[in-house]
């Protein structure tokens, strides 16, 4: 299955066994996307939340 990167428009190959909630990375721009929903023929992505380091502050 394939989907399109929301950042750069590149084609991303999606593994058949990927689960909702997993992170998918675009090989072209490095953008990270969370699998929001998955059906037999469609994958819906949302930007993955990035958690910055708090450095103990």
Residue 38 domain-assigned? yes
Residue 32 domain-assigned? yes
Torsion angle, alpha carbons of 45, 46, 49, 50, to 10: 70
Residue 16 domain-assigned? yes
Task: List per-residue pLDDT tens for the chain, 57 residues long.
Answer: 899 999 999 999 999 899 999 999 999 999 999 999 998 888 999 999 876 666 665
DSSP for residue 18: -
What is the pLDDT, as a whole number, of residue 56?
64
Q: What is the domain extent for residue 34?
A: 2-47
Number of domains observed in the structure of the chain: 1
What is the pLDDT, as a whole number, of residue 41?
81
Residue 12 domain-assigned? yes
Residue 56 domain-assigned? no
CA–CA gap between residue 46 and residue 35 (Å, rounded): 7
pTM for this entry: 0.76
CA–CA gap between residue 6 and residue 36 (Å, rounded): 13
Half-sphere CA count of 55, side-chain side, radius 13 A: 0
Q: How big is the chain by its Cα radius of gyration, in Å? A: 13
CATH code of the domain in which 26 resides: 2.20.28.160
Residue 52 domain-assigned? no
């Amino acid at each position: 299955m394939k989907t399109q990167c929301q950042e750069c428009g590149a084609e991303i190959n999606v593994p058949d066994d990927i689960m909702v909630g997993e992170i998918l990375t675009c090989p072209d721009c490095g953008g990270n996307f969370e699998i929001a929903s998955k059906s037999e023929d469609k994958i819906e992505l949302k930007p993955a939340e990035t958690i910055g380091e708090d450095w103990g502050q």
